[in-house]
Amino acid sequence: MNRPSLPVLTALLLVALAGSTATAIAQSDDKAHQTSASISPTVDFRSARWLSDRDIINDNAEVIASVSDLILDRGSGRIEYAIIKTSGNYGTSGKLVTVPYTSLRWEAGDKDRFVLAATTEQLTLFPEYTAERWNAMRDGSKKDENGLRDRLEADNKSSGDPYAGSLENSVNTRIEGEITGVERVRTTTFGEQVEVSIKTTDGSTKRVAIGPSWFVNATNAAPMRGDKVVVDAMSLPRDPEQLLAASNYRSGNRELRLRDASGSPTWALKTIESNGQSYSAPYSRYLPISKITGLKVDCRGDDCGKVNDVILDRHSGQIAFLSIDPNQNFLGISDTKRLLPWSIATVTLDDIVRIDASKDMVLQSPETPADITTLSNGTHAERVYKAFNVPAPRFDPAEKRVDNRMSDPSNAWGHDGAVNGAIERSAVTSMQGSVLDITDVKFDNGTAPARAIKVRSLDKSQGDYLVLLGPVTYMNNQRTMCKVGDSIKLDAYRTTIDNRQYWLARSVDCNSIRVVLVDGNNAPAWAQR
């Protein structure tokens, strides 16, 4: 086995390997032991109505716009964009434009206003929003007049497929049984993923990755605890937890096609099919929050009323709860509003909110307080999660948006650059050992530095390996996955930089987290287009 020569290494001040963290929001079986439902002390719960009525100032404390609505990821419930109304000039009324939610920050003090580093004139450069244009986006064949759909399509594509490149030698299998748990696994690189636990007919339990939550939960086939299912799946041979990747999912007459025979994901197509209807991918994934209020609620087949309000943590921009009017009393008069965790709710493309709980559970859930801010203190919020036997999510601040679609051939790390072009697909190796060091590697001739990891192989005859992970500019925007001393498994390709050979990580397994950095089509995570 040829090993690459080692250039001079620059030790990092922070000994941390950047990768995708995965936080699981689990829905376990109703009879299972209850998991922790503790709430982070830094949350600040507010209603969507309150959040959609905030002023926006610039760095000079001048009001330049106001929030009109918020655009969510349909699966994760995280705010991706704010729809804001600009302040018009010279008596004009302004217009609605969309800005990334992470570009906004809260003003210091108690004025409850957003701050955006922009002028009124600069706001006009952002994509314009109208209800007509949003509805027209449903048809992916129509021309995008102002770039909003193009931007959302680019964001959607950047999440990629966490198992690309891992299914080449997979074995197909069929699983039949009952779903005992549903998890929404958050990753930095690939978005939120749905995984299920299935108790099979022979008594064993299989864990199956279904797909991105925005894609899975937009359909009426979204998995729920207690569902009897038949799942066609593909093995992930090197996954330490023996996870399977579903290609087709069926529960009764509800079916969800997830991958084709080659393992390519259905959600990567430009058009999504659901219940005999076609939708563009961005329309399927993203949803104005105002459209959720008033939707009908279905509790495992029973009518549970409608959504009365949506409650978010304003710091993370993450939905925490739905407030439900269960229509318990005659004509709904004086109904008690009930709180439900977002992690048991799905919003389908045909505008139904499906709840993974019985109607009796909903009617017995904690009430929605008159003052939503009281949920941020005490045990009220924790009782909501415990009532449905699900853990409270981590309300982590959203990552700042960075443009990883580096396609300029003059950029060595770009999609068409020298590093990617020099990958030898026939020269692939697997490594297993412990992390010795995390370093930055500098190159000559203008190639941007790379984050690298030094691994001591379990096979002492192989010595130590230096494996490049990706460009430092990309890795700095990822979260910590490994540290020195951790056990690690890697698959790596060989590539050439400045006439020297290096190993370039294809995938990394560390601390029960798997990160795919270069997929089976040689598309690096930092250069997804």
Return the domain boundaries, the chain.
9-21+402-527, 49-158, 172-264, 291-385
- Residue-wise pLDDT tens digits, 380-427: 999 999 999 998 888 877 655 543 333 344 478 877 788 888 888 777
Which helix (H) or strand (E) segment holds residue 474: the answer is: helix 472-475
- Contacts of 330-339 spanning 24+ positions with Cβ under 8 A: 332/305, 335/305, 336/367, 337/308, 337/309, 337/367, 337/368, 338/362, 338/363, 338/365, 338/366, 338/367, 338/368, 339/311, 339/365, 339/366, 339/367, 339/368, 339/384
Residue with tokens 């965790």: 341
- Residue-wise pLDDT tens digits, 184-210: 988 767 889 999 999 999 999 999 999
The second-level CATH assignment, the architecture, of 172-264 is: Beta Barrel (2.40)
Q: How far is CA 431 from CA 188, 195, 458, in A?
A: 24, 27, 8
Distance from C-alpha of 114 to C-alpha of 412, rounded to nearest angstrom: 38
Residue 488 near residue 453, CB atoms below 8 Å: yes
- Across-strand partners of 467? 453, 503
Residue 309 near residue 368, CB atoms below 8 Å: yes
Structure tokens at 266: 């259905």
- Residue-wise pLDDT tens digits, 442-471: 887 778 889 999 999 888 777 788 999 988
Q: What is the mean pLDDT of the chain?
A: 82
Residue 213 near residue 192, CB atoms below 8 Å: yes
Distance from C-alpha of 7 to C-alpha of 272, rounded to nearest angstrom: 47
- Residue-wise pLDDT tens digits, 223-239: 999 999 999 999 876 66
Instruction: Tell me if the domain spanning 291-385 has CATH number 3.90.480.20.
Output: no
End-to-end Cα, the chain, rounded Å? 33
- Fold of domain 49-158: SH3 type barrels. (2.30.30)
Neighbouring C-alpha atoms within 13 Å toward the C-beta of 11? 5
pTM of the shown model:
0.70
Taking the CA atoms of 521, 522, 525 and 526 in sequence, report the sign of the dihedral they define. negative
Q: Which amino acid is at 169?
A: N
- Residue-wise pLDDT tens digits, 59-90: 888 999 999 999 999 999 999 999 999 976 54
Structure tokens at 105: 């920050």
Residue 404's Cα: distance from chain center in Å? 16
Least confident of 15-19, 267-271, 283-287, 507-511: 15-19
DSSP letter (8 states) at residue 40: P
* pLDDT value of residue 162: 82
Q: Which amino acid is at 214?
A: W
523, 506, 513, 521: which is closest to 431 by C-alpha?
A: 506
Of the chain, the percentage scoring pLDDT greater than 70 comes to 82
- Across-strand partners of 274? 277
Structure tokens at 369: 């307080």
Distance from C-alpha of 196 to C-alpha of 227, rounded to nearest angstrom: 11
Q: What is the DSSP string of 331-358?
A: GGTTPPPEEEEGGGEEE-TTSEEEESS-
> Do 49-158 and 291-385 fold alike per CATH?
no
Q: β-strands 17-19, 286-288: how paired?
A: unpaired
Structure tokens at 520: 């089976």
- Residue-wise pLDDT tens digits, 27-65: 544 333 334 455 555 789 999 999 998 999 998 889 999
- Residue-wise pLDDT tens digits, 124-164: 888 889 998 898 888 866 666 667 887 787 777 656 788 87
Categorize the per-residue pLDDT at 259 as very low, low, confident or very high, splitting at 50, 70 and 90. Answer: very high
Residue with tokens 């990334």: 100
* pLDDT value of residue 447: 86
* pLDDT value of residue 218: 95
For 160, list phi and psi in degrees, rounded to 5.
65, -160
